[in-house]
Structures are given as structure tokens and as C-alpha cells.
Amino acid sequence: MSSRAEIFASIRANLPRLDRPLPSVPLFDADPPGSLVAQFKESLERMGGLWLDQPATGDPLAAVQDKIASAKIVCSTVSEIDGNCEMARVEAPQDLADVDLVIVRAAFAVAETGSVLLSDTDLKVNAVAYLAQHMIVLLDPTDIVVNLHHAYRRPELHDRHYAAFHTGPSATADIEGVLIHGAQGVRSLSVLLLPRSVPLRN
């Protein structure tokens, strides 16, 4: 028997035999904020994210269309907006290296941290969340949870092949405190509140 096998055998033979249930973890939601949307917006902007306001009348996607107008290559994984980059034809992640703007819908968001959860189902190609220059995230207001304790109970974290929390744009600081956005991901992350079944106005 090798030393490695001996070590593992010894560990297995000496495992504690305790019939005790795991401790109950509280959700820390006894004092929730008055508005999850307001807290999410505040947390998002604190982390460098951008909040897109809907106009009182007209197209609720007007702010998104404005950003699309200044982008050459746009990838969209949502039905509400068309891009000029076909995600279905992407054969390798590096094919997305020149994407200016990607538009996705978040599985859900966390008010406490200003984070959005993006999974392989939402992104289609996971690398687009890091290779695109800018990202716009559509978010249903009913998909905002109060904190990470609630977030970890969401099924999207357990039934997807890939899922990651994104909190604002990529931010990297060196020892001198120089902050760089976009070195390891998107240069900007914008969120537009839009219900999944909202009727789009003309």
C-alpha cells in the first residue's frame, strides 16, 4: 500500500461517527429593505454599474437602443432585441473577441450586493460575458432577492452547468491604487428593469 493510500485509509478509519444534524443557517431577512429595487440600484451603482431608466412613454427599450446605435457588433441572447451577431454560429470563444455590446437577461439579482446571476442558459456562450466591451442586463423586478442567503437557495445555482454572479464592470487596481475597468471583463455593465412578459410599446 502506498503512503497516499495509507493516509486515506487512516482518515476513513478515524472519521467521527456523530449522528448530529447540520446547523440551521438563518436567512438574515428579519429586517428587509423597504424596496428591493431601490436597494439593488444603490448597490449596483456603488459597484460601478449603470442603471438605465425607462422613459415615461414610448419604447421601454429606448435606452438600450441608444447604446446599440454606437456599437458595431452587438450580440443579443434575448427575444426583445435583435443583434447583428448570431450566437448560434459561434464555434469558439475567441470568435467573440470583437463584440462591442452584449445584451442578456439575468436569471435573478441580489439587492444586498447589486449582483446579477448569469448562467449558461442566459449567455448561450459563457465567454461573451468577459470578452464583450459592454454588457446590458435585462432584469425582471420580481427576480430580485434580498441577500446572498436567499440567492443560494435559488434553483438556478444548482440546475445549470455554469452560473456566475456579476457585480458591476470588471475592476482591477494595482498597488498604487489605479483602478482599471475592463482589463479582465466588460468595461461597463448596465441594468434595465424589464419584466419578462412586458408588452413593448411603439
The CATH homologous superfamily for domain 33-193 is NagB/RpiA/CoA transferase-like (3.40.50.10420)
pLDDT in tens, 58-96: 899 999 999 999 999 999 999 999 999 988 888 899 999
pLDDT in tens, 163-176: 999 999 998 887 77
Q: Residue written as cell 425582471? A: 140
Question: Which of the given ranges, 26-30, 78-82, 102-106, 172-176, has the highest pLDDT on average?
Answer: 102-106
Exposed e or buried b per residue across 157-181, where buried means at least 16 C-beta atoms within 10 angstroms of its C-beta: eeebeebebbbbbbeeeeeeeeeeb
> Which pLDDT score, from 0 to 100, does residue 55 have?
86
What pTM was computed for the model?
A: 0.85
CB 60 within 8 A of CB 200: yes
pLDDT in tens, 112-144: 999 999 999 999 999 999 999 999 999 999 999
**List of long-range contacts for 61-66, beta carbons under 8 Å, 24+ apart:** 61/192, 61/194, 61/200, 63/190, 63/192, 64/103, 64/136, 64/192
What phi and psi, each to the nearest 5 degrees, are found at residue 190? -115, 145
Kind and range of the H or E run holding 40: helix 36-46
What phi and psi, each to the nearest 5 degrees, are found at residue 138? -85, 135
pLDDT at 202 over 80: no
Domain layout of the chain by residue ranges: 33-193
CA-to-CA distance for 48 and 37, rounded, in angstroms?
17
